[in-house]
């Protein structure tokens, strides 16, 4: 058995393809993907990405420069305490 995956953007194209497959007496399955295409990501990965996007939109983020300054400050403190 061979599986063929086809992505169709236009609803009218789907109807035409279904008619063709029916005429060829081929079995097929239509998966209606109403959500965004997340590829092979797991639900946990998708949830994490969505949470990150929500944080970003709500302003709960830190700039790269701020994070690097914080890390460098911590490293300086560790160096001083370890002599």
pLDDT band at 3 (very low <50, low <70, confident <90, very high): confident
Structure tokens at 28: 């097929």
pLDDT band at 71 (very low <50, low <70, confident <90, very high): very high
Residue-wise pLDDT for 6-63, tens only, equals: 888 788 888 899 999 999 999 888 877 666 678 888 999 999 999 999 999 999 999 9
Among the residues of the chain, which ranges form H helices? 11-23, 43-57, 64-81
Query: Can you tell me which residue has the tokens 């497959």?
Result: 21
Q: Which of 43, 27, 23 is nearest to 35 (CA)?
A: 43
- Structural domain boundaries in the chain: 11-81
């Amino acid at each position: 058995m061979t599986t063929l995956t086809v992505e169709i953007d236009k609803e009218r194209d789907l109807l035409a393809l279904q008619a063709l497959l029916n005429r060829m007496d081929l079995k097929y399955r239509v998966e209606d993907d109403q959500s965004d295409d997340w590829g092979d990501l797991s639900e946990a990965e998708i949830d994490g990405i969505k949470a990150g996007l929500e944080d970003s939109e709500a302003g709960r983020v830190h700039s790269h420069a701020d994070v690097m300054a914080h890390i460098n400050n911590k490293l300086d403190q560790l160096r001083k305490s370890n002599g």
